[in-house]
Amino acid sequence: MYYKLNTLWKELSLDLIFTLFLQNIMVYVTRKVHFNGAHKLFNPNWTEEQNDEVFGKCANKNWHGHNFDLYVTVKGVPNPDTGFVMDLKKLKVILEDKVVSKLDHKNFNLDVDFLKDVMPSIENIVIKIWEQIEHELPQGANLHCIKLYETENQFVEYYG
């Protein structure tokens, strides 16, 4: 038994040992941002009747709008010098630059480069928002969850 454990321990990489150690002190921080936008849910391969049946009012051909609330959660170990997982002012700037400035007061079907050829359901929008920001975070801060509220009663969560 001792021999087996000893061998296993030697095979663990330092990175993995470090990761296991840090799991206990991981902290999750969240920034909320807001934007308004319009979209319609419409599958061009279907008839108008099929679209109406599946998407209802969301298929309205002249669009409809929502007030969206976006919650972005980043995880990491607090820096010993700052106490921060990451500077939330920097997260605000990233979200403003990569997400809000591209979506706010826009038509998601027509105006947004990262939603081109994407059915702009909130499910698909969170996946695309994740792609927009995952490589923008500083070292040591990792994206954990993106939550998008379309209405007060309806939201989606994505964990990458």
Q: Which residues bind Ni ion (CB under 5 A)?
A: 58
Q: Of all residues in this chain, which one has the CB nearest to Ni ion in the complex?
A: 58
Say which of 58, 96, 144, 145 is annotated catalytic. Answer: 58
- Give the position of tokens 């000893």: 6
CB of 25 to Ni ion, least distance (A): 40
Nearer to Ni ion, 37 or 76 (CB): 37
Query: Which residues partner with 74 through β-bridges?
Result: 29, 143
CB of 72 to Ni ion, least distance (A): 21
Q: Is 107 exposed, middle or buried (0-12, 13-18, 19+ CB in 10 A)?
A: middle
145: annotated active-site residue: no
The CA distance from 100 to 93, in Å, is 10
Question: Do the Cβ atoms of 113 and 103 come closer than 8 Å?
Answer: no
Question: Do the Cβ atoms of 78 and 85 come closer than 8 Å?
Answer: yes
Say which of 64, 105, 123, 134 is annotated catalytic. Answer: 105
58: annotated active-site residue: yes
150: annotated active-site residue: yes
CB of 64 to Ni ion, least distance (A): 6
Nearer to Ni ion, 91 or 109 (CB): 109
Between strands 154-158 and 64-76, the pairing is: unpaired
DSSP 24: G
Residues catalogued as catalytic: 58, 105, 150
